[in-house]
Structure 1
Amino acid sequence: MSSSPEPRTPWFHQGTDPITIITLDQPIPSRWKILSKLNEHDHQGTEETRGRHDHYSYATLKLLCCDPKKPSNQAFMRIYLQVPTRNTEMQGPQTRSRQATKFTPPELTAYQELTRQDFRHVPKLLGYKVSTQDKSGLVPGGYAIWLVWEKVPGLRLAESSNRLANHAYWTLSAVERERIRQAFIEVLPLAYVNGYKPWAPGLSNLVWHSESGTLYFIGIHGLMEKRTDRSKFRVGPQMLACFGLVKPSSKAWLQNDWNGDTTGWER
């Protein structure tokens, strides 16, 4: 499954403009006003991938939104929309409707479970809706899914996964970076015990709330197998490097036989 930050086709033509109100129905009814579009990703598949994976032809749109009655209560919304497989876009609706399938995004399942566990170091799921496209849809009868999760307070330690950029984390004082690393060492085992699985490990998956000393894990991809014994999970230098919380002096730490030498690492 591949993704592109610049979709070949803009799939979201209507109903996603700023000031639009979107109503969700689960777990209780809620209303969200769109503030801005953040990104759109194209996961359009081919007939071959549809045969292998069934549902892998979709697009996603991430939005910044708020509670219309309390604008300061901001949140993020993602829409999952089934799209026609490649080269069938111009075929008739009856043909496209034969591609319709059901799909539960792993991201939604993860937010549901982590919210149920009341794990305070990840954003809470605030609402969702699972629906099907009508006869005028891109894939009539195909899935259309909305989910909204809280915007946690604090500083996101990186705005992108580019490790060469001058991320916010590295503009902080050495003392503050050490506070973050200690919080990371303490909280990451809890996150993994609860099943947290990031899109990809990195600073962009971390939000630091300095006033309360709280580290949040964002960018949830899905759930991993839970590690029931926290004491057996040790956060070592390699995990710090993997998330970008230290800068190794070489790539030796990537090797299975690395001797653990962190001389020259930037902290």
Structure 2
Amino acid sequence: MSTSILSGLLGTKVTVDLWPLPITGPAFETWEITEKIDEEMCAMHEIESNNGTRPAYVLGTFRCRSTDDNDDGKKLGIMKVYKQIPFVGTELHDYEYRKQQAVEPYEPTELIALKALKRRRCVVVPELLGYRITKQDAMEIVPRGCLMYIVWKQVPGKPLTQEAFWQAPLAERNEIRSRFRHTYQQLVEYEPSIGDIRKIIYDWITGEMHICGFWDAELLDGYATWDDYLFVQFDLVSGSKSDERYFNITASDTYHDEKGWRW
């Protein structure tokens, strides 16, 4: 199987259902894919699939723009694509074998979380705009396998990177940490279960911050509670010297606290 499943999608137009539904009934919006951001393979062996009910899939993130006439191409969004792929070792099996792996389309955890966060008017998470739950064509990699699209509003800034964060001066790093603490505590009903600095969208000019990456979300009982270990989980603090080998720390003004954490 090619290392890139979701290639050649630039220019593709995808029509999604608006969410929430307007009071007038179902409504739709068409988005054109303009740029690929990344692609992640969520591979799985058949034995891990819970008797075929859990699919292996590829997860792609793209920039897109609305093609609706009244938007004039100025309404920008981020599109997440979930596409079922064959189980490990069956990629070259015949059509019928791969077709038997097809799973009915479903609402991914990320979509469920984004719906809940929008209902609760959580402003620190990009706003869900629409989604489409469908099936692959008969000649696709998993014939009639599940295929889901989620579109949310593009927000100012870019995902943080370890390189950019750990070369910034201490005062700026501390400002980002402070904003992250404030932002994280505004999450309600759902939070990311796996920390990653790239889930923090930050505008270096205005200081505006959002949190994304709810494909692995965990349900909350109310609002998120804060723990300083979240700094470590999201790579904003190095929790041990062994962790530092994965960071590209170039700042000269770091320090260690009494726990051995590097700030």
Aligned to 2:46: 47
Letter in 2 for 1:20: T
Aligned to 1:194: 189
Q: Is the 8 A contact 2:125 2:211 kept in 1?
A: yes
In the TM superposition, what is the alpha-carbon distance from 1:144 to its structure 2 partner?
1.1
In the TM superposition, what is the alpha-carbon distance from 1:180 to its structure 2 partner?
2.1
Segment of structure 1 superposing worse, 132-141 or 207-216? 207-216
* Partner of residue 182 from structure 1, selected from 171, 178, 182: 178
- The alpha-carbon distance between structure 1 residues 80 and 175, as it changes in their structure 2 partners (threshold 3 A), is same
- The alpha-carbon distance between structure 1 residues 227 and 20, as it changes in their structure 2 partners (threshold 3 A), is same
In the TM superposition, what is the alpha-carbon distance from 1:42 to its structure 2 partner?
2.6
Gap runs ≥5 in structure 1: 1-6, 159-164, 253-259
Q: RMSD over aligned Cα, in angstroms?
A: 3.1
User: Number of residues paired by the alignment?
Assistant: 240
Q: Compute the TM-score of the two structures, normalised by the length of structure 1.
A: 0.75
In the TM superposition, what is the alpha-carbon distance from 1:29 to its structure 2 partner?
0.8
Aligned to 1:74: 76
Q: Is the 8 A contact 1:93 1:135 kept in 2?
A: no
Q: Compute the TM-score of the two structures, normalised by the length of structure 2.
A: 0.75
Deviations 1:56-106 (A, max 9, x none): 322222222122344443322121112233444444434432222123321
Tell me the SS of whatever aligns to 1:134.
coil
1:106 aligns with 2:97: no
Deviations 1:195-249 (A, max 9, x none): 1215x3132221233565432112222432313366xx3433x332332323457
Gap runs ≥5 in structure 2: 20-26, 244-255
Q: Is the 8 A contact 1:43 1:56 kept in 2?
A: no
Equivalences for residues 101-250 of structure 1 within 5 A: 101-102=103-104, 103-158=106-161, 165=162, 167-191=163-187, 193-198=188-193, 200-209=194-203, 213-228=207-222, 233-236=225-228, 238-247=229-238, 250=241
Distance 2:87 2:94 in 1: 13
Deviations 1:122-174 (A, max 9, x none): 1111211001123223333321111112222124321xxxxxx5x22234343
Aligned to 2:14: 22
In the TM superposition, what is the alpha-carbon distance from 1:109 to its structure 2 partner?
1.5
Distance 2:123 2:172 in 1: 21
- The alpha-carbon distance between structure 1 residues 44 and 181, as it changes in their structure 2 partners (threshold 3 A), is closer
Letter in 1 for 2:32: K
Distance 1:142 1:261 in 2: 51
Identity %, equivalent residues: 25
Q: Is the 8 A contact 2:82 2:149 kept in 1?
A: yes
Distance 1:143 1:119 in 2: 29
In the TM superposition, what is the alpha-carbon distance from 1:179 to its structure 2 partner?
2.4
Letter in 2 for 1:101: V
Aligned to 1:256: none
Distance 1:114 1:108 in 2: 10
Letter in 2 for 1:125: L
Distance 2:234 2:40 in 1: 24
